[in-house]
Chain A
């Protein structure tokens, strides 16, 4: 029903049918319409077969779980080369999409691997797909080879045993993240990764604003509440379960409970219980009850996607917004989506920080090739390229101490970048670790109960 076009059809043909020259056509040797239909059909079959055969050819080797986890790297290299890899990753940012395109070119050169970026609007789409495959008993020919993931989605996949176990240690470049001295590399929102996913990059909650409209943006959560009162309708956050929404709420939850005794604060890093919820959540709801009347649309509407924040700043509707990928700010300025006077900063009372990962589903059809791709993405070359502000600006997960001096130099920031690429307060803003993933779920459910339906 997505296009109601048939009636265009009924207009033109009337002028044509019934005119005299059709008698000439009847005698014609070539029947054009038949030719056309046949051609279209042939094109269709050909395309279908072409697509099918690519899949068939690459899937000849069946790879049981036990075999791969004991394989040596050269074996993986020889088995993994020359195949297709389907990388399911959120595709809403042109800059990130371009980086993945760049990576695709590199692995094509290195291993003859065709890396396809399957652009998701939400990572849970990939989770659903793998689950559907499991329900159809498709345990070896899965369509998802790699997923860009963290937090709740990872916890869900791990819980339903949808991930390939113990493969990250096989990657030669994983040791460059120095996992022994850097426990964050093997914990995803506090949950041990158990070799099921490899770290890819680091992010922290960064705020931004138009420095012509806003001269002194709020520096702490409490100031934010006051600022919103003075500037009604110029700040908002998205509606949970959006990623940025839960991130903002978790930041608020951590900061608001900062004055609580250590034992209570630590409950945030354990699965949420009725008891811990009763101890930690009331301050959050109190804060939000006070904040909401001063938000954009008076808190009666929250946008569904966090990406819309950027558009609303560009439109002048909002005066303050936040993001998890700080590099998108100068990039958006360069694309004219944000004003040239945009500036970015971190809150002085802390920035929610996390690591994002890449994982391989348990039934990935091209598991070895997927490992080769992940190993490349963890290479100093790929990580340094990714960290460049004009490429993606995503912070590297590699430990610089593990790199050669020459490699370390690749990570130096480029000099000529937009002022918004320089994040204020970066040094003084403490990194706040992600709470246990169960908290996202709890906050989302309770938020929707409290604010999800307008009275």
Chain B
């Protein structure tokens, strides 16, 4: 213990820098690895003259404006929709037990990877999908699927539906998380009650009293959703149009094109993607300004009622519709994984077989082991660094600077498609052999921000008197950390672990690129099968993608209870 105690303080002091380095170097290095080729510098293609050819090629791409517009509109509209529905649900059910039920129903959606969600939604709305099967042929008269352009519609409505449904639970749970904070949540609920007693309609009371205090806590998650939506690949790839696709999808295709000189254009596209994401974020900021300017006088005008009853009814309908869509999509996925042949207007497959699960289980064990090992390593690194950094914060007595906290979320705010290709190039320069470590490092980039976000508030809010008492009894800082803080935070730590594992499980692009295809996880297998012709096998993999993180959360919830119970019995 003595050596640990001696080493503990320097390690703690060093760890914030370590964490920043782990996040910054790959992201910035990756960006450089994209910026250089964008300006025409690719030694491998004997291109060593800086030029603007890449950007010229980019402007000349047919439909480039359309691609950018599609990215902008789909991300803005879907984020706005997800946010509005979140607010409506909160406002309508603020005082009702239904809020809890909805939270529990939507919670599991979070662990569904985007690709799996897109596949499930695609099956629902496709002309031969669940919705049209349910009304055929008795209502619609269709014996063969109608020839609609959904999904893949040129306007991107299918993308908007997919992103909205996937991000809504996230925003809702973020908001509920804020409201679950003891101080803030209680204050807001109390203020809401006061407003009700003053004769405000519950809906109006929520918008005038709760929302203004709640929104600042939601801003970062919303911006993260927006940034993600503007540059994501999975959902637009599966649900979006391809003539032309969104900018991010096009960039990925150029990077992967046989014609290697397209990489210059792809890199230029990545630069454009960053600008586009910044533009979308700026749009949101402007919108926020406008709304707050416009709404300020309304807050104090004393109006008690704005058609709350009607809005509430509309919210009921939207909520029911959403839950139905999500439910049907999940049932559809489950049915597919056991389906024999499934003739068109039939609502159920002709026979149920376990063949697909058997076939998948034969091929699944190596990817499964890799998935779990990578996730464990990335999560262990992330948890250790997060805990030490938070501890360093308390040693120095000041919390992370604004710059520091922005840096932590950098990998979430910069479109991953923009820096991952550069990162692969960077890893190539450093070492090309330790693929497993490369993948773990790439996963840490995305796991760390979430783990930090999840642990920071509980660590910072831990009652300092415990540490003070222990210190006054002569305990060293190391002892306080290991013997008091960690055991007291065992619950949040386990949940953060489960979260880290789940984030790692769902990574597609980072695994594919840094692993160079040598390391297959359940997610990379699921996406590559989604490109294939077998919906049944990909349903099995998509379900596996859901089961893994769910298991993680179950363990994270159970283990602390068991451990605590055992200690009480001693």
Contact = CB atoms under 8 A, between A and B. Distances in A.
Contact of A44 (B103, B440, B528): B440
Interface in A100-150: 101, 116, 118-122, 124-129, 131-136, 138, 141, 143
B184 to A, nearest CB: 12
B113 A51 contact: no
B437 A37 contact: no
A232 B260 CA distance: 38
A364 to B, nearest CB: 13
Given A6-B454, A301-B152, A316-B144, A121 B491 contact: no
B469 to A, nearest CB: 10
Interface string B126-142: 11100000000000000
Interface string B524-562: 010111011111110000000000010001001100110
9 contacts: A1-B416, A5-B553, A6-B499, A13-B492, A17-B492, A153-B258, A241-B257, A316-B128, A335-B356
Interface in B476-529: 482-484, 486-493, 495-499, 502-503, 505-508, 516-518, 520, 525, 527-529
B258 A124 contact: yes
B550 to A, nearest CB: 10
B528 A239 contact: no
A5 B487 contact: no
B463 to A, nearest CB: 8
Given A45-B377, A301-B152, 19 more contacts: A2-B234, A3-B503, A6-B499, A12-B557, A17-B491, A25-B564, A26-B487, A33-B487, A40-B379, A124-B258, A131-B260, A141-B433, A239-B242, A298-B147, A335-B355, A451-B243, A452-B62, A452-B244, A453-B66
A415 interface: no
B243 A453 contact: yes
A339 B341 CA distance: 7
Given A126-B517, A336-B536, A315 B567 contact: no
B495 A12 contact: yes
Given A1-B446, A7-B174, A135-B425, A26 B259 contact: no
B327 interface: no
Interface string A293-332: 0001110111111011111101111000000000010001
A278 interface: no
B424 interface: yes
B460 interface: no
Nearest to A56: B433
A420 to B, nearest CB: 13
Contact of B359 (A94, A152, A316, A332): A94
Contacts of A215: none
- Binding site of B, secondary structure by majority: helix, strand, loop or mixed? helix
Nearest to A323: B533
A51 B243 contact: no
A129 B412 CA distance: 26
A275 interface: no
B533 A12 contact: no
A1 B228 contact: yes
Interface residues of B, number: 143
B114 interface: yes
B310 interface: no
B199 interface: no
Among A10, A28, A86, A131, chain B packs the most CB atoms within 10 A around the CB of A10
Contact of A26 (B103, B232, B483, B527): B483
Contact of A120 (B169, B228, B508, B517): B517
B532 A51 contact: no
Contact of A48 (B228, B428, B440): B440
A242 B411 CA distance: 32
Interface in B373-420: 373, 376-381, 383-384, 387, 412, 416
A51 B434 contact: yes
8 closest cross-chain pairs (CB), A and B = A135-B44, A44-B377, A40-B380, A4-B170, A16-B491, A310-B533, A316-B344, A453-B63
Interface string A75-116: 000000000001010011110010001000000000000001
Interface residues of A, number: 114
A125 B556 CA distance: 38
A156 interface: yes
A309 B535 CA distance: 12
B243 A454 contact: yes
A404 interface: no
Contact of A25 (B145, B462, B490, B505): B490
A59 B433 contact: yes
A338 B531 CA distance: 17
A32 to B, nearest CB: 5
B482 to A, nearest CB: 5
Contacts of A116: 518
A61 B356 CA distance: 43
B436 A92 contact: no
A213 B145 CA distance: 13
Interface in A37-54: 37, 40-41, 43-45, 47-48, 51-52
A337 interface: yes
A409 interface: no
A144 B362 CA distance: 25
Contacts of A97: 363
Nearest to B412: A1
Given A41-B381, A52-B437, A124-B256, A297 B147 contact: yes
B154 A9 contact: no
A150 to B, nearest CB: 12
